[in-house]
């Protein structure tokens, strides 16, 4: 793995929210992605549905889409790191395997089958002070898509039902949220119970960033039905204000409209086909960098899922 500049130097981690000016990021890779998986081996209902329908994305199409995102990062002079490529391994969704809060990188406790994805970050990890890498206890299940930073708040998507073990789509538990609160006592951790389905992408919020994301200038993207508790949705609506919220439909949520990625308070990378969302963003004054990402979205993730911010202003 190399940065876009080809330089190797100690990396200062610094991420406090989702929208401050991005300086360094880990972008996943679609190289050597492997064959189309068997339906029974899929980790999410969207991938499962596309495998059965014969519309699962090709490696070449996904590489083209990731190259478009890379070009946007280069346009804005963002330092880009990539994982070491593993043969026959899906390494697109970098957000799943780790996340940064303030100056700490927390290793996700991910599905056991995906442990090698973190090992592919060895080159990046060698540039980080070992004291800044946090490994949570084994009973703390968490993935980066469920952890959203909003300055003094850490929003965490969880599932706490007794049937948690039955959902391959349940990725983060209350034990992880408690551990993160203990690590950052000066911040307020607020949890949100997410709606889960192993089979229906319209009824499944795989991660919190599939149904909610804050943007710069006090706006947010929200899909109400992604939350099991109506009070959680109403809390977010009150927190941001109704006039500052884009309310995604069930279809838009499943297509990953909430999973855009901010380069700064005023610049957002979005999928080129998200017409209603992109029109709303531009009306709010954002510069929208539109990229093709519809093929990658078939795997139940989009732009935030495939990026791991390492340094923001």
Q: What is the mean pLDDT of residues 33-53?
A: 74
Yes or no: say if 201 and 249 are a contact pair by the CB < 8 Å rule.
no
Structure tokens at 111: 């599905």
> What pLDDT is attached to residue 131?
92
Average pLDDT, the chain: 90
The two structure tokens encoding residue 259: 């999973």
Q: Give me the sign of the Cα torsion angle 166, 92, 245, 147.
A: positive
Size of the chain, expressed as the number of residues it contains: 313
Mean pLDDT of 273-277: 98
187 pLDDT band, cuts 50/70/90, is very high
> Would you state the structure tokens that stand for residue 143, as one six-digit string?
């993935």
- The pLDDT tens digits of the residues spanning 288-306 come to 999 999 999 888 789 999 9
pLDDT tens digits, one per residue of 47-102: 777 777 888 878 889 999 999 999 999 999 999 999 999 998 889 999 989 999 99
Q: Say what the pLDDT of residue 5 is.
A: 43
Contact 170, 204 (CB under 8 A): no
- The number of C-alpha atoms within 13 Å of 131 and in the hemisphere containing its C-beta is 1
Q: Which domains does the chain have, with CATH numbers?
A: 22-312 (3.75.10.10)
Which residues in the chain belong to E strands, given as ranges? Answer: 22-27, 79-81, 98-101, 104-107, 133-135, 147-150, 153-158, 188-193, 212-214, 220-222, 245-247, 261-262, 267-271, 287-291, 307-312
* Nearest-angstrom CA–CA distance, 18 and 42: 29
What are 216-243's pLDDT values in tens digits?
Answer: 999 999 999 999 999 999 999 999 999 9
Number of Cα atoms under 13 Å in the Cβ half of residue 11: 31
pLDDT band, residue 42 (cuts 50/70/90): low
CA 267, 313, 215, 277: dihedral to nearest 10 degrees?
20
C-alpha separations of 111 from 73, 117, 211, 294 in Å? 29, 11, 21, 25
Token pair in block for residue 212: 């909610």
């Amino acid at each position: 793995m190399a940065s876009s500049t080809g330089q190797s130097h100690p990396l200062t981690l610094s991420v406090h929210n989702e929208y401050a000016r991005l300086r360094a990021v880990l972008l996943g890779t679609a190289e050597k992605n492997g064959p189309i998986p068997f339906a029974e081996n899929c980790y999410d209902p969207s991938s499962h549905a596309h495998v059965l329908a014969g519309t699962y994305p090709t490696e070449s199409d996904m590489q083209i889409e990731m190259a478009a995102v890379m070009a946007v990062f280069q346009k804005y002079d963002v330092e880009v790191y990539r994982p070491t490529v593993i043969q026959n391994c899906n390494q697109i969704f970098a957000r799943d395997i780790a996340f940064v809060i303030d100056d700490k990188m927390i290793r996700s406790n991910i599905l056991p089958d995906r442990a090698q994805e973190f090992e592919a970050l060895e080159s990046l990890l060698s540039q980080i002070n070992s004291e800044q890498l946090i490994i949570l206890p084994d009973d703390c299940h968490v993935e980066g898509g469920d952890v959203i930073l909003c300055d003094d708040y850490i929003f965490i998507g969880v599932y706490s039902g007794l049937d948690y073990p039955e959902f391959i789509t349940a990725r983060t538990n209350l034990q992880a949220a408690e551990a993160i609160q203990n690590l950052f006592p000066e911040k307020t951790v607020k949890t949100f119970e997410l709606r889960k389905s192993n089979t229906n992408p319209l009824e499944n919020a795989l991660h919190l960033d599939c149904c909610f994301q804050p943007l710069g200038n006090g706006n947010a993207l929200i899909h109400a039905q992604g939350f099991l508790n109506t009070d959680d949705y109403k809390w977010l609506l009150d927190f941001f204000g109704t006039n500052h919220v884009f309310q995604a439909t069930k279809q838009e949520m499943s297509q990953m409209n909430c999973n855009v990625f901010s380069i700064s308070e005023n610049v957002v990378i979005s999928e080129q086909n998200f017409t209603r969302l992109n029109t709303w963003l531009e009306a709010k004054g954002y510069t929208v960098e539109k990229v093709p990402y519809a093929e990658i979205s078939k795997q139940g993730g989009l732009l935030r899922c495939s990026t791991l911010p390492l340094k923001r202003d």
